[in-house]
A and B are shown apart, each in its own frame.
Chain A
Amino acid sequence: MFDTLQDRLAATFKNLRGKGKLTEADIDATAREIRIALLEADVNLGVVKEFIKNIKERCLGAEVSEALNPSQQIIKIVNEELVDILGGDTRTIRFAKKPPTVIMLAGLQGAGKTTLAGKLAHWLKSEGHSPLLVAADLQRPNAVNQLQVVAGRAGVHCFAPEPGNGVGDPVQVARASIDEADRRLYDVVIVDTAGRLGVDEVLMQQAADIKAAVTPDEVLFVVDAMIGQDAVNTAQAFADGVGYDGVVLTKLDGDARGGAALSIARVIGKPIMFASSGEGMKDFDVFHPERMASRILGMGDMLTLIEQAEKTFDEEKSRKAHEKIVTKGGSGFGLGDFLEQMKMIRKMGPLSKLFGMLPGMDGAMKDQLNNIDEKEVDRIEAIILSMTPAERDDPKILNGSRRARIAKGSGTEVSEVNNLVNRFFEARKVMSSFANGQMPAGMPGMPGMPQGALPGGGGGGSKKQQQKKRKKNAKGVSGNPAKRRAQEARKNQPAAKEPASDPAAAFGHGFDPKQFGGGFGGQKPGDFDIPPELEKMFKQGK
């Protein structure tokens, strides 16, 4: 079973590769894969059909250049089209000339309107406005209380004259809130309405009435990123029933691919203005079409990974650990540091998912990763925690009796302690040469894995790869992928306007299943191509 478009296309492109020119049959085959990938990302079927038609036309049209790898070309076209639709016309809140600016939130039940109202207020407040939250959801039990608490967290005021739980008229409340804002000089009013279904005519009429009563400057349609094929129906129902000016995607911190964004942007033609991702008040951002595009396509979303990492990683600790890796061939990097690392990484989410985000993962490797039981990683922790600090700092002092003690202490067997220590030494070696931009001596495969589970694994990659590698280096390009990419990018910059957003670059090498057939066992630093987003970040960091 393929998880992502990248896997699917990798399989299709295996046959395409090397042809140099796209035939109609090639395009049809690819189109099918793209279709399935988009459908599995919950993009509406109608939108998919239209999208594929455009892609086909573009692929067959004059744009096909025989100089470029066909797979790169297709991915590039797909990505461009996606970004085009998603980023149609991005903008943020339009403020009224004469305050208060009224923002109304509408959406299905459970889309996250109340939470979003708080986030929006928090954001507006940090921008120097004085927002007022209005509790016009008088339907759901205790929605008013929730908004009051949310307002407290966001540090803004809440206007809630009615107790809710079915008591009171939301239209009245909304109307009264404008007077309140006038009187108390709030310059933004955020009206939180009850969740309603698109098919519920009574409630839709109520929403329309609220809209008529307060004449909002912005009506935002709040939609859950997890929504499926129904997104278009719902969005259309709200567009017809209430009418809105922008869309907010919520729950983007989950792993839904969010194809709904594409459907809505395409069918309704309203811009997606904000993206909300998380439970905290600050987890709120303007919408990034490029990220959404790669998310829908299921291309390793490195940027999200990095953001998550930045949120969870302790900068000071990371810097120190990194120094240890770079200096003295990594010998300063002990198991204690490794434990810290592992803890931080586990905070970022399920391991299998994180590894899946890394570019260059192919099917076999993914299967392996899916098999990791998080609880077994706990055992690794137990083993390390059973060591003394001195042993953690310098695992080389571990002799037989120490190992026996550790095994006893952690409830494991000596062979497992051995296994961990050996793995660790190997990993450290790879890591340090990786960090120093050198070629590591081939990484032996991972013992403990069923033989043959990783094609090509266990031998440090095939000879062919190594030859290829050498050739690359012979050209005088840095072995450090980061440096190399940066060099290339610098070279390309005058020629290509947007080298950083060219997905073909990442696909060209990084997603060749053959190259990565060995999984981590055969991975060389040079082969580890970073995706464009990361590259961009890296350049900014310099």
Chain B
Amino acid sequence: MDPIWYIVIAVIVVALVGVGVGVGLRQRALEQKRRAEIEEPTPEPGAEVEPEPGEEPAEPAEPVEPGLDEPEPPKSRLQRLRARLAGQNNALSRGLLSLLSADKLDEDTWDDFEATLISSDLGVGPTTELVDTLRTRFKVEGVDSPEKAREILREELLKLVDPTLDRSLNIRSEGDDPAVCLVVGVNGTGKTTTVGKLARVLVAEDAKVLLGAADTFRAAAAEQLQTWGERVGVDTVRGAEGSDPASVAFNAVDAGVEQGVDCVIVDTAGRLHTKTGLMDELGKVKRVIEKKAPVTEVLLVIDATTGQNGLIQARIFREVVDVTGIVLTKLDGSAKGGIIVQVQRELGVPVKLVGLGEGADDLAPFDVEGFVDALLEE
């Protein structure tokens, strides 16, 4: 007999025993949880550390040393980036416009519209839903002018991107411990670059930042991060290549507590969500950090070119490290990152930041209305 059969059998047996027992255990666990919930009220999640009035990090962070880059202040950055998003040769906005300017909304127009949405990686589900809603609303509300149509479209798009989600970043320290931001994602989405840009944003806001290079796997990743840090005068805590990322992360946070910084940003190695071992490692990184200080923000970096796989990525990363926000990078290309709509809807994790270019300051907060308006702009 071939060993392959053994493998197939092995998988099946594990399935048989695993699923049976697993489900049994799960039910038990659920029951226990329920029991526990009845017995004692859940402790307040927010009451970790009370800020002590005397030690508030109110003193301004040290001014950026001369000779360093001066990061752009957030205000002007936002305007510039919004202009960039809108000014593009934007397939989505073109498609929507042609839809609105058509005299009669016939099947072909709707088909084109649907195609435009699908081409922006929105996914079949949300697209069909949006098209159906629009069709119904157009019919019911008797749309007679492009302005009216645009209004409805804007409303529905807004609803889709959900402006009610809390998109603020928890990366300023409250109390003694510094805020800790863990940046995760699959390979090549731009994690290290995002960490570098985020550090600049914080420095521009006069916060004291420390970087942790917990990407000990990829060749020269720590150097890359250090280069980013040096440009704005931020220190980087790093370990030897191939060392345990959790220990590097711990050291970084430890140093952060000691130096009394406002925020420690920990960069992790890119990992495909299908690699169980690597995902376990990531879980460990977070657990180990939390021995020192609570992780206040876990950012998942997703590349705007990512297709439907992005949803699976987000789901698994959320299971492992409880992602609290998404950074959508490379939005300056021709891809629109429509996948985040599905990610937000299904997982309830909001997009908090967008990366819009190669420039060091091309990172901006995600602004729903601005995003939608930019799509609809002529």
Contact present for A234 and B276 (CB under 8 Å):
no
Closest chain A CB from B276 CB (angstroms): 6
Instruction: Determine, out of A12-20, A316-324, A401-409, the stretch whose residues face the partner at the interface.
Output: A316-324
Contact present for B11 and A254 (CB under 8 Å):
no
**Interface readout for A226-237 with B: 1 if CB under 8 Å, 0 if not?**
111111011001
- Chain B residues within 8 Å of A505, by CB: none
Closest chain B CB from A448 CB (angstroms): 3
Say if the beta carbon of B369 comes within 8 Å of chain A: no
- Chain A residues within 8 Å of B202, by CB: none
Contact present for A318 and B7 (CB under 8 Å):
yes
- Chain B residues within 8 Å of A143, by CB: 220, 224
- Chain B residues within 8 Å of A420, by CB: 17, 21
Closest chain A CB from B132 CB (angstroms): 15
Report the Cα distance A192→B275, complex, angstroms. 27
**A339-374 interface with B by 8 A CB criterion:** 341-342, 344-351, 353-355, 358, 368-369, 371-374
User: Which of B9, B26, B121 is close to A431, meaning CB atoms less than 8 Å apart?
Assistant: B9
A234-B25 contact given A254-B273, A350-B274, A520-B16, CB 8 Å threshold: no
Report the Cα distance A146→B339, complex, angstroms. 30
Instruction: Determine, out of A210-218, A240-248, A267-275, A375-383, the stretch whose residues face the partner at the interface.
Output: A375-383
User: Which of B20, B188, B218, B338 is close to A448, meaning CB atoms less than 8 Å apart?
Assistant: B20
Say if the beta carbon of A60 comes within 8 Å of chain B: no
A197-B14 contact given A350-B276, A376-B29, A448-B24, CB 8 Å threshold: no
Contact present for B12 and A198 (CB under 8 Å):
no
User: Which of B11, B20, B310, B330 is close to A197, meaning CB atoms less than 8 Å apart?
Assistant: B330
Closest chain A CB from B26 CB (angstroms): 5
Report the Cα distance A372→B115, complex, angstroms. 36
A419-B334 contact given A345-B10, A426-B16, A427-B16, CB 8 Å threshold: no
Contact present for B18 and A372 (CB under 8 Å):
yes
- Chain B residues within 8 Å of A520, by CB: 12, 15-16, 19
**B234-256 interface with A by 8 A CB criterion:** 241
User: Which of B5, B12, B17 is close to A424, meaning CB atoms less than 8 Å apart?
Assistant: B17
A145-B274 contact given A199-B334, A255-B309, CB 8 Å threshold: no
Say if the beta carbon of A313 comes within 8 Å of chain B: yes
Say if the beta carbon of A83 comes within 8 Å of chain B: no
Contact present for B25 and A376 (CB under 8 Å):
yes
Contact present for A351 and B18 (CB under 8 Å):
yes
Report the Cα distance A140→B191, complex, angstroms. 13
Contact present for A253 and B274 (CB under 8 Å):
yes
- Chain B residues within 8 Å of A141, by CB: 196, 223-224, 227-228
Contact present for A110 and B190 (CB under 8 Å):
yes
**B1-38 interface with A by 8 A CB criterion:** 1-29
Contact present for A318 and B3 (CB under 8 Å):
yes
**B297-328 interface with A by 8 A CB criterion:** 303-310, 312-313, 316
Report the Cα distance A148→B4, complex, angstroms. 39
**Interface readout for B181-193 with A: 1 if CB under 8 Å, 0 if not?**
0000011111000
Say if the beta carbon of B333 comes within 8 Å of chain A: yes
- Chain B residues within 8 Å of A338, by CB: 13-14, 17
Instruction: Determine, out of A33-41, A95-103, A471-479, A496-504, the stretch whose residues face the partner at the interface.
Output: A33-41
Report the Cα distance A227→B276, complex, angstroms. 22
Say if the beta carbon of A537 comes within 8 Å of chain B: yes
Closest chain A CB from B211 CB (angstroms): 13
Closest chain B CB from A254 CB (angstroms): 4
Report the Cα distance A319→B2, complex, angstroms. 9
- Chain A residues within 8 Å of B4, by CB: 306, 309, 534, 537-538, 541
Instruction: Determine, out of A62-70, A175-183, A256-264, the stretch whose residues face the partner at the interface.
Output: A256-264
Report the Cα distance A198→B304, complex, angstroms. 13
User: Which of B14, B241, B275, B308 is close to A41, meaning CB atoms less than 8 Å apart?
Assistant: B308
Contact present for A260 and B307 (CB under 8 Å):
yes
Say if the beta carbon of B119 comes within 8 Å of chain A: yes
**Interface readout for A433-446 with B: 1 if CB under 8 Å, 0 if not?**
01100000001001
Say if the beta carbon of B123 comes within 8 Å of chain A: yes
Report the Cα distance A358→B11, complex, angstroms. 9
Contact present for A228 and B115 (CB under 8 Å):
no
Contact present for B333 and A199 (CB under 8 Å):
yes
Contact present for A255 and B24 (CB under 8 Å):
no
Say if the beta carbon of A124 comes within 8 Å of chain B: no
Closest chain A CB from B207 CB (angstroms): 22
Say if the beta carbon of B277 comes within 8 Å of chain A: yes
Report the Cα distance A349→B39, complex, angstroms. 37
Report the Cα distance A303→B307, complex, angstroms. 24
A446-B15 contact given A146-B218, A541-B4, CB 8 Å threshold: no
- Chain B residues within 8 Å of A260, by CB: 307
Contact present for B9 and A325 (CB under 8 Å):
yes
Report the Cα distance A443→B15, complex, angstroms. 14
Contact present for B29 and A446 (CB under 8 Å):
no
Contact present for A373 and B220 (CB under 8 Å):
no
Contact present for A142 and B224 (CB under 8 Å):
yes
Report the Cα distance A260→B306, complex, angstroms. 10
Closest chain A CB from B11 CB (angstroms): 6
- Chain B residues within 8 Å of A350, by CB: 274, 276, 316
Contact present for B17 and A145 (CB under 8 Å):
no
User: Which of B187, B224, B304 is close to A140, meaning CB atoms less than 8 Å apart?
Assistant: B224
**Interface readout for B246-276 with A: 1 if CB under 8 Å, 0 if not?**
0000000000000000000000000011111
A226-B309 contact given A315-B3, A318-B7, A520-B12, CB 8 Å threshold: yes
- Chain B residues within 8 Å of A532, by CB: none
User: Which of B28, B115, B219, B272 is close to A253, meaning CB atoms less than 8 Å apart?
Assistant: B272
Report the Cα distance A428→B221, complex, angstroms. 48
Say if the beta carbon of A430 comes within 8 Å of chain B: yes
Contact present for B307 and A259 (CB under 8 Å):
yes
Contact present for A45 and B119 (CB under 8 Å):
yes
Report the Cα distance A199→B18, complex, angstroms. 50
Closest chain B CB from A500 CB (angstroms): 15
Report the Cα distance A468→B223, complex, angstroms. 65
Report the Cα distance A42→B272, complex, angstroms. 18
**Top-6 shortest CB links A-B:** A228-B307, A110-B188, A448-B24, A149-B219, A42-B307, A230-B335
22 contacts between A and B (CB under 8 A): A41-B308, A42-B309, A45-B118, A108-B305, A197-B330, A226-B186, A234-B333, A255-B312, A279-B217, A306-B7, A318-B6, A322-B1, A338-B13, A379-B21, A380-B17, A380-B21, A412-B25, A427-B13, A448-B23, A448-B24, A482-B2, A520-B12
